[in-house]
Amino acid sequence: MKLIPYGKHHIDKEDIDAVVELLVSGWLTQGPKIEAFENQVADFVGAKYSVAVSSGTAALHIATLAANVGPGNALVTSPITFVASANAGIYAGGEVLFADIDHETVNMSAKSLQSITESSKNIKAIVPVHFAGLPCDMNAIKKIADRAGACIIEDAAHALGATYPDGGQVGNCQNSLMTVFSFHPVKAIAAGEGGMITTNDEDVYRRLLRLRSHGINKLDDPFEIPEQGMTDGVNDPWYYEMQELGFNYRITDIQCALAISQFKKLDLFIARRRELVRQYDESFSTFENCRPAQTQGRDESAHHLYVLRIDFQGKGINRAQVIQKLRDKGIASQVHYIAVPAHPYYQSLGFSPEHYPAAKAYYEEALTIPLYYDLTDKEQDYIIKTFRELIG
């Protein structure tokens, strides 16, 4: 039986032609397509600067470093996210703290964040996660961050194409220092792998460029030892300086050629996802044992995921059984996410899912079902019909 995946990228002839054209152009990496893609994203979201990197995780890592997170201070994020959101703080040598989620949005709870900032005075950065593409309450989070003296890095890996309540694009950094995107194949647009950081701060932008490429000076960064790179008072054309410890987080022109082509279809992708979500919402509103995990901001969300909250105990069936029965019917499902504090590594640091009751309750009920551009109406009807038979 053909399996309907929970998520899938869409590739058409235009995408294929864009990559083929790039392959015969002579550029494979560090070429003009990278800057073209950066400008495309910056213009779309309304940010001054954009830096493309090899993955969303790489973007989170160097954004955290550019925010000066390090030993002696902390990064706060959500417990319901992929582990990279939290790992970035540890990569930088800092401490990680978690603010519990809001029951209705699955996003960071402003109330929980406020409590953490009042009890911990060493918070350097706050990383709200726009879960499933639904923007967090950035106005509330910004007020808390300002009082705590912390900067904000928006984790918008799910949220390219989403808008804030005021109509601004997620990524414009009006309430944050930086915003991070991902171009993994199941995200809004695919680049194979890839990430992007947007910012309006020139100093941060320049540092991100250095960190992306081994810590080597970029643009017109002044030399720290100019006499070492000069002959007869003239700069040596081969000379460059590694001015801090950086990384090889460069993205390729191949990836950017695909991403540029994909980006042209972003509005189409988002519109189809919203159409599918409306149908899901309408259908599941009649169910007794499950409901959509998010119901707010449906016209603002990028709808990266469609998550149900199912009362497995009330139905008398466990999640593993439901997932297997769905798979037997040709429907793939997934769980987004295992709460980060539940992972063995984080438990070894003293964390426990019991400390985050809203996140724990969400995880016990969550199930992600298929949502992607190429999901047909017939397939969606079949998914809903199957759930009606299994869950009621």
CB of 257 closer than 8 Å to CB of 33: yes
| Cα angle 312-276-280, degrees, rounded to a multiple of 5 | 30
Give yes or no: residues 350 and 271 share one domain. yes
Give yes or no: residues 142 and 91 share one domain. yes
Residue ending a domain, among 244, 263, 282, is 263
Range of the domain at 276: 266-390
Q: What is the phi/psi pair of residue 76, to 5°?
A: -110, 130
Say how far apart CA 129 and CA 134 lie, in whole Å.
9
- Tell me if 8 is assigned to some domain: no
- Tell me if 153 is assigned to some domain: yes
Eight-class DSSP state of 281: H
- Tell me if 6 is assigned to some domain: no
Give yes or no: residues 242 and 313 share one domain. no
Give yes or no: residues 233 and 274 share one domain. no
CA 225 to centroid of chain Cα atoms: 38
Say how far apart CA 254 and CA 34 lie, in whole Å.
9
Write the single-letter amino acid at 102.
D
CB of 280 closer than 8 Å to CB of 292: yes
CB of 363 closer than 8 Å to CB of 80: yes
Residue ending a domain, among 202, 237, 263, is 263
The string of DSSP letters for 291-321 reads EES--S-TTT-----EEEEE-HHHHT--HHH
Give yes or no: residues 380 and 234 share one domain. no
CB of 88 closer than 8 Å to CB of 127: yes
Structural domain total, the chain: 2
Close Cβ partners of 88 (under 8 Å, ≥ 6 residues apart): 57, 60, 61, 63, 64, 69, 75, 127
Block means of pLDDT (10 residues each) for the chain, length 392 residues? Answer: 93 98 92 97 98 98 98 97 98 98 98 96 97 98 98 98 98 98 96 97 98 96 94 93 98 98 98 98 94 97 98 93 97 98 98 98 98 98 96 83
Residue ending a domain, among 238, 263, 288, is 263
- Tell me if 5 is assigned to some domain: no
Say how far apart CA 40 and CA 33 lie, in whole Å.
10
Give yes or no: residues 258 and 270 share one domain. no
Say how far apart CA 301 and CA 308 lie, in whole Å.
16
Give yes or no: residues 247 and 364 share one domain. no
Give yes or no: residues 259 and 277 share one domain. no
- Tell me if 201 is assigned to some domain: yes
Q: What is the phi/psi pair of residue 208, to 5°?
A: -60, -40
CB of 144 closer than 8 Å to CB of 169: no
- Tell me if 3 is assigned to some domain: no
- The pLDDT value recorded for residue 392 is 78
Q: At what angle do helices 56-66 and 202-212 cross, to 10 degrees?
A: 130
Give yes or no: residues 235 and 334 share one domain. no
Give yes or no: residues 83 and 191 share one domain. yes
Structure tokens at 177: 């220092």
| Cα angle 337-342-344, degrees, rounded to a multiple of 5 | 120
Eight-class DSSP state of 127: E
Other CB atoms within 10 A of residue 155 CB: 29
Close Cβ partners of 154 (under 8 Å, ≥ 6 residues apart): 127, 128, 130, 136, 138, 170, 171, 173, 176, 178, 179, 180
- Tell me if 2 is assigned to some domain: no
CATH code, domain with 376: 3.90.1150.10
Give yes or no: residues 160 and 61 share one domain. yes
Burial class (CB in 10 A: 0-12, 13-18, 19+), 286: exposed
CATH code, domain with 238: 3.40.640.10
Give yes or no: residues 30 and 159 share one domain. yes
Say how far apart CA 167 and CA 150 lie, in whole Å.
25
CB of 62 closer than 8 Å to CB of 53: yes
Residue found by looking up tokens 């009807």 in the block: 381
Q: Flag whether the pTM goes above 0.85.
A: yes
What does the CA dihedral 373, 375, 380, 386 come to, rounded to 10 degrees? -130
Closest CA to 41 of 199, 186, 174: 199
CB of 38 closer than 8 Å to CB of 196: yes
